[in-house]
Amino acid sequence: MTQPAAAFEQDVIALIQAAKQQAAVAVNAELTLLYWSVGQRIHEEVLGGSRADYGKQVIARLAQRLTTQFGKGWSKAQLSYCVKFAEVFSDIKIVHAVRGKLITKVE
């Protein structure tokens, strides 16, 4: 293979790798916002934890429904992590700031 052909192939490979990296970062940023939004919505539904038994039922039922519809990744434990995430970062502005940093880190 000639030197220009090898350089050309390396350039194309680098383009593909960079695009894959940017796509992964974008997906992770969107998932961060999704997990926060799901946690926030659950938190609202169970009135900030004041109805603990009801909250456990809501999470269990929702986990079952989401797992049936979307497959793995929506267990009771995962939904509880989403709720905790929304509780710890209660201000959506903070979540958007972190999300923005995830996206701009690659650019």
Asked if residue 32 lies in contact with residue 82, where contact means CB atoms within 8 angstroms, the answer is: no
Supply the pLDDT for residue 2: 75
Supply the pLDDT for residue 99: 78
Would you list the domain boundaries of the chain? Answer: 32-106
pLDDT band at 106 (very low <50, low <70, confident <90, very high): low
Asked if residue 87 lies in contact with residue 43, where contact means CB atoms within 8 angstroms, the answer is: yes
- Given a cut of 70, whether residue 10 has pLDDT beyond it is yes
Render pLDDT for 33-75 as a digit per residue (tens, 0 to 9).
999 999 999 988 886 656 667 778 889 999 999 999 999 999 9
Encoded amino acid at 92, one letter: I
Alpha-carbon distance 105 to 21, whole Å?
Answer: 11
